Amino acid sequence: MEKFEVHILGCGSALPTTRHFASSQVINFREKLFMIDCGEGTQMQMRQSKLKFSRLNHIFISHLHGDHCFGLIGLISTFGLLKRTATLYIHAPSELQKILQPQLDFFCKEISYKIIFQAVDTYKQQIIYEDRSLIVHTIPLKHRIPCCGYIFEEKQSPNHLIKEKIDFYHIPIYEFNKIKSGSNYIDPQGNIVLNNELTRPALPARKYAYCSDTIYQPNIVKQINGVDTLYHEATFSSSDEARAKETFHTTALQAGVLAQKAKVKKLILGHFSARYEDESILLNEAKQVFNNTFLAKENLCFKV
Amino acid sequence: MEKFEVHILGCGSALPTTRHFASSQVINFREKLFMIDCGEGTQMQMRQSKLKFSRLNHIFISHLHGDHCFGLIGLISTFGLLKRTATLYIHAPSELQKILQPQLDFFCKEISYKIIFQAVDTYKQQIIYEDRSLIVHTIPLKHRIPCCGYIFEEKQSPNHLIKEKIDFYHIPIYEFNKIKSGSNYIDPQGNIVLNNELTRPALPARKYAYCSDTIYQPNIVKQINGVDTLYHEATFSSSDEARAKETFHTTALQAGVLAQKAKVKKLILGHFSARYEDESILLNEAKQVFNNTFLAKENLCFKV
């Protein structure tokens, strides 16, 4: 199966602790790296997770709170020191460029590569990235400031050809793409060979959803329905539900409810408040309603 | 002896490694904390070293390369989240304020405390901080951009009174300060008691010098002469001396020579280039000329 993994670089919330780094993760999709959020310390965490800086071309920022973007300038600087040449794309709410530009002008004067800021409208569901095999959509979230999540959706691969049958019927190469897409084969004598004799269905396309930071938002269920892996913030425990509401965050139980309603396959909790020394309280809460739940942890890697 | 310690928070150079954080250290002088440099990750490292955020009121920045100041915005933000009220003083080259202000305006709108930027002229030897027991001087250094080091100098304590003698001669309290400062005591009958019978000399005042980043600069020897502890950058080994010169850095051997010439008591090497997996090569080099040398290390604490 082609690689589709999520590396957790940081899953704490705003206050620093000795247990967690600020938010950041890297998706390795077929050896291309995509970053979501870039809190302070992200570049050190990339080294720790042995991720190659040169494989990262796209960074997606959920919102402009410091614990989700203070690591950008350090990472951008380091790319400069490493003499990067590939363009770096930063997908983020539009104000980011205004804030970063004075820093870039001062610290990264002689940078060897181009940075392109792509403004993200956090209020709309839309496709903001697409290549031959991957689509990235935004998920509008509701936080104290404009914020969105991201869905990474693998494109459905065509059916696989069954080599023995292809050889048996002497099918010419120029017919392969049509057959992969579902056509039957008609041989020179006019005989029809049905597609299901020639192909094996590809594995179903996989989806990963990242939702942080947000108040409990049941209306995202439709969009994240059936994803393979859902990373959802669980800043607080149910006992702090009032605080969660007030600060536009989610409890672990609420994250579990979303996972259950959306019938996802796996739930990863993250963005933990500094107040919980023992996060198993959050895990157990979510597991009450959705059993296949895991706690995020720095430098852990999950398969989607 | 009153506390005078240095906590190393980061002693790597610009490129991130899994071994080091970027430059930062905290001086604990009689339970007041003073920070020198503030690279990315400094706030996490303060937690790791169990240093109390509320005890820190002064930050000194040596120069405006990212690995010496990218951690400021995160630390300042966190102070805000912690509802700090005490004024924070940042002593740094004047451009820092211009670069930080747009970030402060965006990320720290509702900050609960005041920040005062004190412009440091890196080209002059001058006193930039003074209180009852401590003086901080600048050390002009020579790097690719304006840069200075800092000397933390304890003020000489007055002599200690010998309690038994004070009681024996029935010396009144209002005479104590004069005697501590060296005066003899004349009793009501006009008898003179010599000062050295009444007092014991205080311990000699201690000095700590921080020199990073800089090309080998023998002319600082006069200023750092006889300090108890010298932290000096040793970015490169002698085998990379040409590279050191080109990038305005110092080799470990050169740092040892400076320590020897300045007759310091202890040398701590830091600001290690990412290229040395094993830094004992740097240690051994400096020890050739100055034996009492140590390698800096994250979360290590040295007594001055």
* Residue from B37, B67, B213, B228 carrying the catalytic annotation: B67
**Residues on chain A touching B47 (C-beta within 8 angstroms):** 16-18
User: According to the model, what pLDDT value does residue B1 have?
Assistant: 82
The residue type found at B120 is V
Distance from first CA to last CA of chain B, Å, rounded?
Answer: 11
* Interface contacts A/B by beta carbons within 8 Å: 84
Beta bridge partners of B193: B185
Whose CA is closest to A225, among A209, A211, A212, A249? A209
Read off the pLDDT of residues A239-285 as tens digits, 9 standing for 90 and up.
999 999 999 999 999 999 999 999 999 999 999 999 999 999 999 99
Q: Read off the pLDDT band of A143 (50, 70, 90).
A: very high
Whose CA is closest to A162, among A197, A186, A192, A194? A197
Q: Is A145 on the interface with B (CB under 8 A)?
A: no
Q: Which tokens belong to B78?
A: 């966190």
Q: Percent helix, strand, coil in chain A (nearest 5)? A: 30, 30, 45
Is residue B227 a contact partner of residue B137, using CB atoms and an 8 Å limit?
no
Kindly tell me the burial class for residue A172, based on how many C-beta atoms sit within 10 Å of its own C-beta (0-12, 13-18, 19 or more): exposed
Distances (CA, A) of B288 to B238, B256, B265, B269, B281: 12, 8, 15, 14, 11
What's the mean pLDDT in B214-231? 98
At residue B23, what are phi and psi to the nearest 5 degrees?
-60, 130
Question: What is the CATH number that goes with domain A4-157+203-303?
Answer: 3.60.15.10
A18 vs B48: CB contact, 8 Å cut-off?
yes
User: How far apart are the C-alpha atoms of B181 and B195, rounded to whole Å?
Assistant: 9
Whose CA is closest to B42, among B65, B76, B17? B76
Give CA A296 to chain center in angstroms: 14
B47 vs A16: CB contact, 8 Å cut-off?
yes
User: According to the model, what pLDDT value does residue B95 have?
Assistant: 97
User: According to the model, what pLDDT value does residue A110 have?
Assistant: 85
B43 vs A73: CB contact, 8 Å cut-off?
no
Angle at A288 between CA A286 and CA A293, to 5 degrees: 45
Is residue B303 a contact partner of residue B3, using CB atoms and an 8 Å limit?
no
Count of beta carbons in the 10 Å neighbourhood of residue A251:
24
Q: Which bin fits A193, alpha (ψ -120 to 50), beta or left (φ > 0)?
A: beta
User: How far apart are the C-alpha atoms of B246 and B257, rounded to whole Å?
Assistant: 19
Q: Please give the residue of chain A at the shortest CA–CA distance from B72.
A: A70
User: According to the model, what pLDDT value does residue A1 have?
Assistant: 82
Q: Is B121 a catalytic residue?
A: no
Distance from first CA to last CA of chain A, Å, rounded?
Answer: 11
pTM of the model: 0.93
pLDDT at B197 over 90: yes
Interface test with A, best of B20, B63, B70 (most A CBs within 10 A): B70
A15 vs B99: CB contact, 8 Å cut-off?
no
Give CA B250 to chain center in angstroms: 19
A77 vs B95: CB contact, 8 Å cut-off?
no
User: How far apart are the C-alpha atoms of B68 and B46, rounded to whole Å?
Assistant: 15
Q: Is A174 on the interface with B (CB under 8 A)?
A: no
The residue type found at B36 is I
Angle at A19 between CA A13 and CA A23, to 5 degrees: 35
Is residue A232 a contact partner of residue A258, using CB atoms and an 8 Å limit?
yes
Beta bridge partners of B8: B25
Question: Across the interface, which of A15, A48, A103 has its CB nearest the CB of B99?
Answer: A103
Q: Please give the residue of chain B at the shortest CA–CA distance from A82.
A: B15
B74 vs A98: CB contact, 8 Å cut-off?
no
Read off the pLDDT of residues A224-234 as tens digits, 9 standing for 90 and up.
999 999 999 99
Q: Which tokens belong to A41?
A: 């310390």
User: How far apart are the C-alpha atoms of A65 and A72, rounded to whole Å?
Assistant: 12
Interface test with A, best of B19, B40, B79, B101 (most A CBs within 10 A): B40
Read off the pLDDT of residues B246-286 as tens digits, 9 standing for 90 and up.
999 999 999 999 999 999 999 999 999 999 999 999 999 99
CB interface of A with B, residues 100-119, below 8 Å: 102-103, 106-107
Kindly tell me the burial class for residue A81, based on how many C-beta atoms sit within 10 Å of its own C-beta (0-12, 13-18, 19 or more): middle
Q: Is B43 on the interface with A (CB under 8 A)?
A: yes
**Residues on chain A touching B77 (C-beta within 8 angstroms):** 14, 66, 70
ipTM metric = 0.92
Q: Please give the residue of chain B at the shortest CA–CA distance from A79.
A: B15
CA atoms within a 13 Å half-sphere pointing along the CA-CB vector of B165: 16
User: How far apart are the C-alpha atoms of B113 and B56, rounded to whole Å?
Assistant: 13
Q: Which tokens belong to A82?
A: 């490493």
Longest dimension (CA), chain B: 75
At residue A68, what are phi and psi to the nearest 5 degrees?
-115, -5
User: How far apart are the C-alpha atoms of A165 and B99, rounded to whole Å?
Assistant: 66
**Residues on chain A touching B44 (C-beta within 8 angstroms):** 16, 18, 21, 40-41
Instruction: Tell me if residue B226 falls in helix, strand or coil.
Output: coil
What's the mean pLDDT in B40-68? 98
Beta bridge partners of A24: A10, A38
CA distance B217 to chain A (A): 25
Question: Across the interface, which of A47, A95, A107 has its CB nearest the CB of B16?
Answer: A47
Read off the pLDDT of residues B34-51 as tens digits, 9 standing for 90 and up.
999 999 999 999 999 999
User: According to the model, what pLDDT value does residue A10 have?
Assistant: 98
Q: Which tokens belong to B88?
A: 């924070």
What's the mean pLDDT in A102-115? 94
Q: Which residue has the tokens 């027991």?
A: B133
Q: Which tokens belong to A245?
A: 């509401």
CA distance A18 to chain B (A): 6
Q: Please give the residue of chain B at the shortest CA–CA distance from A44.
A: B16
CA distance B105 to chain A (A): 9
Is residue B49 a contact partner of residue B81, using CB atoms and an 8 Å limit?
no
Q: Which sequence spans correspond to the domains of chain B?
A: 4-157+203-303, 160-200
Q: Read off the pLDDT band of B110 (50, 70, 90).
A: confident
